[in-house]
A and B are shown apart, each in its own frame.
Chain A
Amino acid sequence: MSKFFVVFKREYAQVVKKKSFLVGIFLTPALMAAFVMLPAFLARQKASETEHLAVIDQSGSGIGAAFAKALERYFIDDEETVPYYAVDRIIELDRADSSGRAAVEDSLRLLINDKELKYFLVVGEDASGGEADLYLVTNSDNFRSISWFEQRLSDLLSARRLEKSNVNLSIDSVLSLTQPIDLTIQDAKGESIPFMVKYFSALVFVGIMFGMMIGYGQLVMRSVIEEKNSRIMEVLISSVSPFQLMLGKIIGLGAATLTQVAIWFALGAVMFVMRSAVSVDPSIDRIVFDPVIIVFFILFLVSGYLLFSTLFALVGSIVNTEKEAQNFVAPITILMVLPFLLGIAVVQEPNSTLAVALSLFPFTAPTMMMMRVVFIAPTVAEHSLFSGIAAEATLSFLIVVAAVAGMIWLTSRIFRVGILMYGKRPTLPEIIKWVKY
């Protein structure tokens, strides 16, 4: 039996046999789902108590009172009908009374500060004329309430403007005539995938890659550090070559990675069959069944893992403690999370120069290219396997493969010396000497 395989077997078993492996398999998707769904769930929750408002009306035409009436909206709480909004006071002021308005505003601001009022609206003298001198004072960021106020005010003021003009139409018919249009978006294929569907799919694919690369990559590093620290390294090296040891470790833990992803795929398939039970946009099929996305997900997962775990093995071989290693882990992590950090910029313009450049640089390529593939591949007109994005992804993959080969060479040179060096962390010139040695 090859010694590589002996090391491979141990490293694989050490991970897969642990309870934490099983926990990770089920806990991670659960956390991920919670992370995605919780904000949406919370946002859909009904308001739990009435919000109190005040209005300062300087328009002289009763806009404040009309607004208070327009706000009528109720929710049911314990079988009781409770108003969403309560306009506690409407303060009507004379148009010219600017000092009076300032005094009232100051006193209302204090109420806001003491949380007795949530909002107060100021309707200025010109509001009814159409030139809006309107503002809302609040410390709240409840965008649903604020947009509700905006809509009501906008309807109210439109009606007023219409009254003043000489157009002989009812308000309702004007509103229906000026109904804003909802632009349907189609891609080159003539279909449409909502932005959020693409965005969350990309986050899931890239998130799994990131998690595997950082999680198992660091496991490689820790395993090397453990063998250095426990001094078992010297016995190992008298039995296997450093190269066999390094590859056995990287590929053994890589096999554990693939096991975990394969189980997730199987779980995913089960959930996918039941997807009609949950309200998932049907366009998700076009992402999940796109061959380019599936193929490159596997290719980038494997090549990205190999690239980063080799880098982590390099770090493990030159440091003495995990604490020392943390200095190296931070910059490596930043390379990996770059697509997340640039997230919105990339998804809005997946073909921007920056996005393309980062998908050709080996250490950002796996995650960045994957992000772009998820966004572009389902939208191209031709079969995605023969599209430009598939060609680009292939180029990017080849660059990563070349980098993996280079990293394995470099790391194996440093590894065989570094693993037997205890004590002082080597300087860069020393490490360069090891490479040549």
Chain B
Amino acid sequence: MFLKLDSICKTYDDKVAVDNLSLEVPQGVLYGIIGPNGAGKTTTIRMIMDITAPDSGKVLIDGKRLDRHFRNRVGYLPEERGLYRKMTLLEIMLYMAELKGCPARNVKKNCDKWLKRMDLLEYKDKKVEELSKGMQQKLQFITTILHDPDLIILDELFSGLDPLNIELIKDILLELKRAGKTILFSTHVMEQAEKLCDHICMISRGRKVIDGSMAEVKSRFGKNSIQLEVVGDGGFVSSLAGIKKVTDFNNYLELELEQNADTDAILKSVAQRVSVRRFALVEPSLYSIFIDMAGGEPPDPGSAGEVADV
């Protein structure tokens, strides 16, 4: 399935949540919608899911308007997670699949397969309330994909998952992608998106900042950055000639260069003052691209894997 948003807009009272957003998600890719909290990611996803209607603009699936049949071919994991506490794991999986039009007898054997993969098989007939928060997240991920959807939409996918489970789910997502499924997810954690996505769309304050395939987006900016790791305080580098901007990531520094900057000279000057552990000419990170494009509205850089929505 492929998905197209055609200049959709949504305003709540006097707040513009999504402003004239257009994007295309081709079939069989991992597509990331990236932006800080409050950028309009969830509103966009809710409009794709037909939970809220756009004020204007169109959402097209395989070139057609949304219809009832579409719901059954989509798996949706909302940002706010939750399950029936009093139902058993098996009951809830079958119920969710039936709501997607899959008869229980067809998915029963897949239930075991997924429970085993997620290390939840022993809890199959336990109630949801007996699971830990992380286990509930995994269960909810299973219910999202159990009915074998063609389009999988995951809002703030990594929130609430520990690194081990993030790896597990990443593997599954890659398998699904290779099987031709289209996967769209949103996150405010740029590092994860950078590792996982084929395509991205960055949004800020309801507007698109940049979109395209990861390679495209990066090449548009060229190899004009230096990743620098030094022993000691590297704060002095901002005063060197040819450096446009310094982003301090604490463990390393990312230096954005002016055009025609002399990288050899920079290396020399740095090496004179401190001991260099790494000096690499690279593409800019999504984070620095975002800062560049969105214009001085930094999302929190270091917050790996948790949401602080209010």
Binding site for B on A (CB under 8 A): 1, 3, 6-7, 10, 14, 226, 229-232, 234-241, 420
Contacts and interface: CB of A to CB of B under 8 A. Distances in A.
Contacts of A236: 99
B80 A234 contact: yes
Contacts, number: 53
A231 B80 contact: yes
A13 to B, nearest CB: 9
18 contacts: A1-B103, A3-B101, A6-B95, A6-B99, A14-B86, A231-B81, A234-B51, A235-B143, A236-B99, A238-B50, A238-B51, A238-B71, A238-B74, A238-B76, A239-B72, A239-B96, A239-B100, A420-B51
A273 to B, nearest CB: 39
A241 B72 CA distance: 12
Contacts of A241: 68
B103 A3 contact: no
B99 A232 contact: no
Interface in B81-98: 81-87, 95-96, 98
Given A1-B103, A3-B101, A231 B82 contact: yes
Contacts of B72: 239
Given A234-B51, A238-B74, A420-B51, A1 B98 contact: yes
Contacts of A237: 51
A234 B83 contact: no
B82 A230 contact: yes
Contact of A239 (B85, B86, B99, B103): B99
A235 B80 CA distance: 10
Contacts of B99: 3, 6-7, 236, 239-240
A164 B35 CA distance: 110
Interface string B227-245: 0000000000000000000
A15 B68 CA distance: 29
A237 to B, nearest CB: 6
A4 B99 CA distance: 9
A234 B96 CA distance: 12
A286 B83 CA distance: 51
Interface string B272-304: 000000000000000000000000000000000
Contacts of A420: 51-52
B107 interface: no
A321 to B, nearest CB: 15
B197 interface: no
B78 interface: yes
Contacts of A232: 82-84
A235 B71 contact: no
- Best-surrounded residue of B50, B82, B95 (most CB of chain A within 10 A): B82
Given A14-B87, A230-B85, 16 more contacts: A6-B98, A230-B82, A230-B83, A231-B81, A234-B76, A234-B78, A234-B80, A235-B77, A235-B143, A238-B49, A238-B50, A238-B71, A238-B74, A240-B99, A241-B68, A420-B52
